[in-house]
Amino acid sequence: MAGRDEPPEGTPEGLPSGGEDEYRSVVFDESFIRAARLQEFSAQERMGRHARAVRSRSGWPGRGPGRLLVAMALLVLAFGAAVLMGIHHPYRPPETPRAEPLRTTVVPLAPRDAVPGGTPAELFAHSPAAAFRTGASGVNLPGARGTAHFAYSDVLAALKIAQQYVVTSSLDPSVLMGGPAEKVRDLIAPEQYPQFDRSLATPSADGRHAATGWLVRFDPAQVALAGSEVRVAGVLRYAEAADRTLEVIADHTFVYPLRPAGPRTATAGAGTAGAATADGASLFTVRREVHFRFGAEDLRLHQAQVTLADVQAGPQSCTADAVNRLRPLLAGQHAAGGGPAGTDPYTTGQPPTSLCGTLAASSQPVLPSR
């Protein structure tokens, strides 16, 4: 009987018996045949209506609805994985918190004596503001560096927005004299628009709606700028907060030369409330500390979230309505009503946040004897 690897009739002539021929390495076992993509029809099948001698065998395991269910299952798994990766992506940027309401404190500073008067140049020369810079040049940018989550360009952009807000809200002549404040409004987050609008329309001493917390403004019926030179000194500081926002603090002192509104006519007499000196001008000092917060969206839209404003301004009377407009005492005038009004701790309801302080004599110009 022929061996497994030899033909039934034995080895053909011309070939070495028992040797390895060139086809011996090819083994057509049962698994190889079943895996073939083509299958030959049987003799009986070829006698029928089949025109071809072979038929194709599907390479996809299974037929019919089963194959569709497998495809749908794979699609659902892929979609679920994509959604899961989107939710837990390690580099997903943090959402910026919504803008909080601005908290304000406005403190009038009452002088002990009559307000000194003179020319603006003379007053500045003999006051602590002698070395201050003029106008916007006093609102300088500090050296900026990137933080953990904000690049150098982001920090610089935040500082410039804060600088623009300070200059616009504290030095723009139209804003100072009670004119339109759209230029200030355009720099804040839209979520703060309602609070801003209410503060300017119906200001109140509730710690949320003081117009003079948002900006510096005077009553044009009472005072006017004595020239365009406003002295300024202060700093801008920044730091990244725990919630991955950028915080900027603007701390500046502004010194305004003021005179009575109307024609420049000298009024004789001094030392009584309502009187003015012959020179007519006086200095009014405002210390503002404004806190800003910036997220990535705020920087993209060139806007700021104004979160805190502490204002101290004088000389004013403690009875002045300082939350609507600042009410400067002019040259020769005294504070009316004495010191701060008493606080009744038994009063219920919303406690007033308006305070009053005493203006230090060293902050006033000391003019030489004439």
Task: Give 344-353 pLDDT, tens digit per residue.
Answer: 667 666 555 4
> What is the average pLDDT across 336-347?
66
**All residues at 6 or more sequence positions from 100 whose CB lies less than 8 Å from its CB, including other chains:** 293, 305, 307
Please tell me what DSSP assigns to residue 223. E
At 246, is the secondary structure helix, strand, or coil? strand
Residue 367: is its pLDDT beyond 60?
yes
Task: Give 232-264 pLDDT, tens digit per residue.
Answer: 999 999 999 988 999 999 999 999 999 999 876
d(C-alpha 5, C-alpha 26), whole Å: 12
pTM over 0.85: no
CA 291, 295, 296, 299 torsion-angle sign: negative
Please tell me what DSSP assigns to residue 281. B
> What is the average pLDDT across 182-194?
97
For residue 7, is the peptide bond before it cis, meaning its omega torsion is within 30 degrees of 0?
no
Residue 98: is its pLDDT beyond 50?
yes
* Locus of tokens 């406690």: 351
330 phi, psi to nearest 5 deg: -95, 180
d(C-alpha 289, C-alpha 249), whole Å: 7
166 phi, psi to nearest 5 deg: -60, -45
CB 325 within 8 Å of CB 219: yes
Residue 61's pLDDT band (cuts 50, 70, 90): low
